[in-house]
Amino acid sequence: MKPIRLLLAWIVSIAAVSAADTSPRERISFNNGWRFTKDDPLAVGEALNYERIKDWVLPTGDELLNYKHPAQRVRRPDGNPAGDVTYTRAAFDDSKWRSLDLPHDWGIEGPFQQNLDGETGKLPWFGTAWYRKKFDVPASDAGRNVYLEIDGAMSYAMVWINGQFVGGWPYGYSSWRVDLTPHLKPGAENVVAIRLDNPRESSRWYPGGGIYRNVWLLKTSPIQVAQWGVFVTTPTITRDAASVDVGVTLDNKTAARAEVKVGVKLFAADAYGKPVGDAVVSGEERQVRVEPARQANVSHTLRVASPKLWGLKERNRYVAETTVSHEGKVVDRVLTPFGIRSIEHTADDGFLLNGERVQLYGVCNHHDLGALGAAINTRALERQLEILREMGGNAIRTSHNPPAPELLELCDRMGFLVMDEPFDCWAMGKKRDDYGRVFHDWHEKDLRAMMRRDRNHPSVIQWSIGNEVREQFEPDGWKLAAHLAAIVREEDSSRPVVGGFNNIQSGFNGFQRVVDVVGYNYKPSEYAPLRKRHPHVMQMGAETASTLSTRGEYFFPISDDKLEGRSDFQMSSHDLSAARWAHTPDTEWRGLDENPFVMGEFVWTGFDYLGEPTPYNADATNLMNYANPVDRERAAKELAELGKILVPSRSSYFGIIDIAGFPKDRYYLYQARWRPELKMAYILPHWNWPDRVGEITPVFVYSSGDEAELFLNGKSQGRRKRGALEYRFRWNEVKYEPGELKVVVYKNGAVWAENVKRTTGAAAKLTLTPDRATLRADGQDLSFVTVTVADKDGLMIPRAKNALKFTLTGPGEILATDNGDPTSFESFQSPERKAFNGLALVIVRTKAGEAGAITLKATGEGLAPAEVALKSE
């Protein structure tokens, strides 16, 4: 029996590796073993200024620009810019520099500084820094091409290999690569040096600083599939069959003409986009000629019978395996996961996925991961999506920049729709030194780079060309919009062009004509007038709400004036407050419900983020830095209102979920609407108001039911119906007395859900609740542990702010702590932290290759300590 079983296993394993592992292409993580230092070496002066080196930087990624006309490529000038700067040199002794692994964000390490802008998080993310890494290149790599691939480096990166400048990239959110081949030394040690430079006045939010995304070393044959060189589309889809077009771009990096053969096979994919089983269909090999130092294109059309569609519930995917052969040898093989799904944006009936209307329940998110800063961690992103999915969210706008590639992979796998967005500004910047400075030279490359990288993700349903750009206010602004839209359509005609617009000039300023879908930011009252005048224009709420709240804070008396609800640099959590230009969720929903042709919305924001602590962001420093006089004036007004103070606030109040990942009350308001089938009811505020006995303390209930009765200590406070265009139950006259609030909710007359809120006892103990207790020992995996200050019965103490301490034993580390308070200036790396309104968060990370039991302990004065066991395996 045994030999047969072995043989079988061997056959199975051959089949399983048929796709990936035999490729001559190798993509190796290049994250580990870097040296880092902040600032430039002394007295280099202007030698490293981008403007001085620009001519050498500009040719980087040029094939994205002139891929059709390679003869127009710009040549890198001779010479070696800054080659005499010590840090660039191979022989430089960097042994005194700090050693670290990527991804890395130096800004999040702090410390917070009160004199820094609240708008960018009061963290020192700006300035210059260097990264160096030594690595061995085997002699067998001679004759291969070796690229350094960077998913994102903030910002103005410049790269030297063995002392020789090889390129760079200004925009911190783009993915890009440089070719190390010409200066690489196979069979020897090599040194790569990277300089970053973050201009201080370059962002409206916390951008982070550093090589904050993953970095790879890519090794290929000189005849190869080009960067992001496979594009899969599915032009026709029926129940019986889908046609799948696989377009392939090849690079010939040799000095000789090459006759190559390109074959394509399609496989079903597992949940992670990896091929499984035998090919479902194979295309015939195509012959193609590639001239030396040129590119060539070839395409295959294949037919998949009875296709399994990608959708939000079932996320079926396929993988295209592209094989390139030259002179009888396989020289490259690339796997491209994709999905078969149809999308349709309409003017009359919203957005359709696979022929069925899907309302966009979307959120805008910035890229930072709270206490982890900008440094990408896949599990942290996955957790964000899990929290959003539980709320009923189904879409993400990558506001306002290309995301980490891992986010799109997660959206494919977990079933989210994506609005992929390249820019927050065009040529007319919003801050003195923002992207506007390089827009002219770089926008086309950045836009094409984003699209080529992201175009095979079924989750991506539309391409944005930018957010609230200042060009909207210019009579000729639409021309630039038309230029960008043309680039998008040239790259991909299968998805529409959209933008986030806030200047509507009575419904038309020319932008509406050049995009496919108008994304309105905070304009629920404009949906109907625009439709009346231009019935064929498709519309969505690209940015909605900007409602403001702090988890667990409530101010009285409550007011329906959206500019109220402010106190002590916090925002009341009654969900009635919003930014001056913005709305409560209720107002946005009225706009959507009265105009059902609108595709849905992207709420500002899913999660709180570092920076932009509106309405408390009018620092004096901040005020002067708006490029635009209108913004300067608005900021001046805010500053006058607040008085000339530095605002003690470092993160936003917009999130439905706080920066630590704890849902605010609003989470349940959205859940009630976005998951109408879920039997849920949620009461606010908490019921610990010893200072309010006998005073009016309104109670709200968020529920998917349509009728509700509230009881205080058993006494009915009235049974209410939720009318059309009403989204919450309110009892405005409740007089506080300690005890129990209970709501019974009905739907269509039958009991639907109940919820209770009780006055708690005194703080007595801590509890620890990990989101996951079994982790991978890969040095990346995280457990997010919620720390609760509770009474003896385990009820969370809603106003607890106890000082807490955490210790850990076993193969893990406390990576960060947080509590969701936008005014906390405790270090995110500190193992000590105050609870905020009953909660704190500890983020535990495993150690690579070290399995075992991890114990996390929490202590706080006067509280029974708590302990939780985690396992790393």
Given a contact cutoff of 8 angstroms between Cβ atoms, the answer to whether 113 and 197 are in contact is no
Active site residues: 468, 543
Applying the rule CB under 6 A, the residues between 611 and 650 that interact with ligand GAL are: 612, 614
Q: Which is nearer to ligand GAL, 582 or 839 (CB)?
A: 582
Single out the residue of 604, 689, 727, 731 in contact with ligand GAL (rule: CB under 6 A). 604
Single out the residue of 579, 775, 777, 868 in contact with ligand GAL (rule: CB under 6 A). 579
Measured CA to CA, the distance from residue 245 to residue 320 in angstroms comes to: 10
Dihedral sign, CA of 347, 352, 355, 356?
negative
Q: Which is nearer to ligand GAL, 271 or 563 (CB)?
A: 563
CB atoms within 10 A of CB 49: 13
Q: Which is nearer to ligand GAL, 543 or 781 (CB)?
A: 543
Q: How many of the chain's residues bind ligand GAL (CB under 6 A)?
A: 12
The per-residue b/e assignment along 524-562, b for 16 or more CB within 10 angstroms, e otherwise, is bebbeebbeeeeebbbbbbbbbbbbbbbbbbbbebeeeb
Residues paired with 352 in a beta bridge: 344, 357
Q: Which is nearer to ligand GAL, 163 or 436 (CB)?
A: 436
Residue 582 interacts with ligand GAL (CB under 6 A)? yes
Contact flags string 816-855 toward ligand GAL, x per CB under 6 A? ----------------------------------------
Measured CA to CA, the distance from residue 746 to residue 752 in angstroms comes to: 5
Q: Residue 656 Cβ, how far from ligand GAL at the closest point, in Å? A: 13
Query: CA-based Rg of the chain, rounded to a whole angstrom?
Result: 28
Q: Which is nearer to ligand GAL, 421 or 665 (CB)?
A: 421
Residues paired with 299 in a beta bridge: 247
Q: Residue 581 Cβ, how far from ligand GAL at the closest point, in Å? A: 6
Measured CA to CA, the distance from residue 500 to residue 541 in angstroms comes to: 8
Q: Write phi, then psi, for 191 (nearest 5 degrees).
A: -130, 125
Q: Which is nearer to ligand GAL, 397 or 799 (CB)?
A: 397
Given a contact cutoff of 8 angstroms between Cβ atoms, the answer to whether 108 and 375 are in contact is yes
Measured CA to CA, the distance from residue 491 to residue 315 in angstroms comes to: 25
Contact flags string 482-521 toward ligand GAL, x per CB under 6 A? --------------------x------------------x
Q: Residue 451 Cβ, how far from ligand GAL at the closest point, in Å? A: 21
Q: Which is nearer to ligand GAL, 579 or 699 (CB)?
A: 579
Structure tokens, 664: 């605010």
Q: Residue 562 Cβ, how far from ligand GAL at the closest point, in Å? A: 12
Closest of 727, 687, 685, 690 to residue 708, by C-alpha: 727
Applying the rule CB under 6 A, the residues between 544 and 563 that interact with ligand GAL are: 546
Please, what's the largest Cα pairwise distance for the chain? 89
Given a contact cutoff of 8 angstroms between Cβ atoms, the answer to whether 590 and 341 are in contact is no
Q: Which is nearer to ligand GAL, 582 or 789 (CB)?
A: 582
Q: Residue 364 Cβ, how far from ligand GAL at the closest point, in Å? A: 7
Q: Residue 171 Cβ, how far from ligand GAL at the closest point, in Å? A: 17
SS3 219: strand
Closest of 795, 855, 861 to residue 834, by C-alpha: 861
Q: Which is nearer to ligand GAL, 32 or 502 (CB)?
A: 502
Measured CA to CA, the distance from residue 94 to residue 358 in angstroms comes to: 55
How is residue 610 annotated by DSSP? B
Alpha helices in 322-438 (DSSP H): 378-391, 405-414
Q: Residue 45 Cβ, how far from ligand GAL at the closest point, in Å? A: 36
Q: Which is nearer to ligand GAL, 276 or 563 (CB)?
A: 563
Q: Residue 265 Cβ, how far from ligand GAL at the closest point, in Å? A: 43
Which helix (H) or strand (E) segment is 28 a member of? strand 26-29
Q: Determine the residue with CB nearest ligand GAL.
A: 546
Contact flags string 444-483 toward ligand GAL, x per CB under 6 A? -----------------------xx---------------
Given a contact cutoff of 8 angstroms between Cβ atoms, the answer to whether 577 and 566 are in contact is yes
Residue 723 makes CB contacts below 8 A (sequence gap 6+) with none
Q: Residue 465 Cβ, how far from ligand GAL at the closest point, in Å? A: 14
Q: Which is nearer to ligand GAL, 184 or 469 (CB)?
A: 469
Closest of 56, 52, 53 to residue 76, by C-alpha: 56
Measured CA to CA, the distance from residue 618 to residue 497 in angstroms comes to: 34
Measured CA to CA, the distance from residue 360 to residue 540 in angstroms comes to: 9
Given a contact cutoff of 8 angstroms between Cβ atoms, the answer to whether 805 and 828 are in contact is no
CB atoms within 10 A of CB 255: 8
Q: Residue 528 Cβ, how far from ligand GAL at the closest point, in Å? A: 21
Measured CA to CA, the distance from residue 275 to residue 120 in angstroms comes to: 42
Q: Residue 612 Cβ, how far from ligand GAL at the closest point, in Å? A: 6
SS3 692: helix
Single out the residue of 543, 608, 638, 665 in contact with ligand GAL (rule: CB under 6 A). 543
Measured CA to CA, the distance from residue 515 to residue 487 in angstroms comes to: 12
Applying the rule CB under 6 A, the residues between 373 and 432 that interact with ligand GAL are: 400
Residue 368 interacts with ligand GAL (CB under 6 A)? no
**Residues of this chain that bind ligand GAL (CB under 6 A):** 400, 467-468, 502, 521, 543, 546, 579, 582, 604, 612, 614
